[in-house]
Amino acid sequence: MASIRDVLNRIDVDLSGPNGSIISVNKELFGFHQSRVPADPEGFETKVSLLEKIRSLQGKHIHLNILRVGHDQYSELDENRLDFAIYRAHEIYAQKNLGIGRVLHFNMNREKFKDYERLGYPTDNEASKRRSKKRAKEKSHELSRKVAIDNDGIDMFVVLKIYGYLGRSPICGPDEYQKEAHGKYGAKKAVIAGFIDRADHTSGKRKKSDLGFARTFSHELGHYLGLHHTCVADNTIFFNHPYNPTTLSPCTAEDRDNLMSQTGPAWEARDSIILTDKQGKKIRKHGIVKNGIPK
Ligand SMILES: [Zn+2]
């Protein structure tokens, strides 16, 4: 069996820290920024398996770059929220044998990136909400053109808030990958924006929104890997969503359990994370998916 050092070398994790030493398996191999397995917001046990992680890298896997906009303002709760989302992404994509490989964090400090900390703006007025949403969309594209990490990972921007959206990601399946890479979005990779939404620190909504954030994080990743929404809610707002092909039908009970159901129709944040075999097949074919490292 490969040593941890071999595994990290094969997924191009840089070991050139002090004395070339591995500082933390939790950080270097699982991508937990806090160097420990994150706590579950509802107190359920969280644990990771080194063996499962290595096995998942021996099969199809993806690498992630987490771009933390306004990282210097993160509290410990925010850090845990983000690490928990990474933890859940491992679990969610393991359902369909897609491993999460290297997870690198990139800090984008508030001073330099303050224009992108919040995408769009708060408003109660309907017309101005539409303008804010358009602005949020433009800004997220601008951000992905401005910053792109030069490696084979998927860039996932985490911003403070996106008004009018929980997250955003272009859909690009294997055929569209090249087009997306050089066309509409300008960068070799796409933006996936989640929100860290620090506003709810002290409210009882925190736990719920930690679970919600984790689901959004994996849901946006699903879009990037080529998945559309599974269904449309019985609600015209959802019918108008750009990721809803016109062939979609209203959500069945089963659809509501799917990761790619929108937040409105989804039953709830913890368990509505199912992927079908067909979806699994599709994501595993995406151009950015890596083949397994040698055993
Ligand atoms: Zn969506």
* CA of 55 relative to ligand 1 center, distance in Å: 29
* CA of 243 relative to ligand 1 center, distance in Å: 6
* CA of 192 relative to ligand 1 center, distance in Å: 11
**Taking residues 68-89, what's their average pLDDT?**
90
Question: What is the model's pLDDT at position 15?
Answer: 72
* CA of 260 relative to ligand 1 center, distance in Å: 6
Question: What is the model's pLDDT at position 168?
Answer: 78
* CA of 190 relative to ligand 1 center, distance in Å: 15
Q: Which of 156-160, 196-200, 202-206, 281-285 has the lowest mean pLDDT?
A: 196-200
* CA of 164 relative to ligand 1 center, distance in Å: 12
Question: What is the model's pLDDT at position 175?
Answer: 43
* CA of 62 relative to ligand 1 center, distance in Å: 20
pLDDT digits (tens, 9 = 90+) for 142-190: 887 788 888 888 888 888 888 877 777 766 543 444 444 444 333 345 5
* CA of 291 relative to ligand 1 center, distance in Å: 26
* CA of 126 relative to ligand 1 center, distance in Å: 22
Residue 226 pLDDT more than 80?
A: yes
* CA of 217 relative to ligand 1 center, distance in Å: 10
Percent of the chain with pLDDT strictly greater than 70: 78
* CA of 128 relative to ligand 1 center, distance in Å: 22
Residue 254 pLDDT more than 90?
A: no
Question: What is the model's pLDDT at position 179?
Answer: 46
Let me know: does 216 contact 166? Beta carbons within 8 Å: yes
Question: What is the model's pLDDT at position 246?
Answer: 61
* CA of 177 relative to ligand 1 center, distance in Å: 18
Question: Count of alpha carbons within 13 Å of 226, Cβ hemisphere only?
Answer: 18
* CA of 133 relative to ligand 1 center, distance in Å: 15
Task: Categorize the per-residue pLDDT at 286 as very low, low, confident or very high, splitting at 50, 70 and 90.
Answer: confident
List b or e across 40-49, with b for residues whose CB sees 16 or more CB atoms inside 10 angstroms: bbeeeeeebe
* CA of 189 relative to ligand 1 center, distance in Å: 18
Question: What is the model's pLDDT at position 182?
Answer: 42
Measured between alpha carbons, how far is 10 from 21 in angstroms, rounded to an integer? Answer: 16
Residue 106 pLDDT more than 90?
A: yes
Q: Residue 262: what residue type?
A: Q
Percent of the chain with pLDDT strictly greater than 90: 31
* CA of 40 relative to ligand 1 center, distance in Å: 24
* CA of 261 relative to ligand 1 center, distance in Å: 7
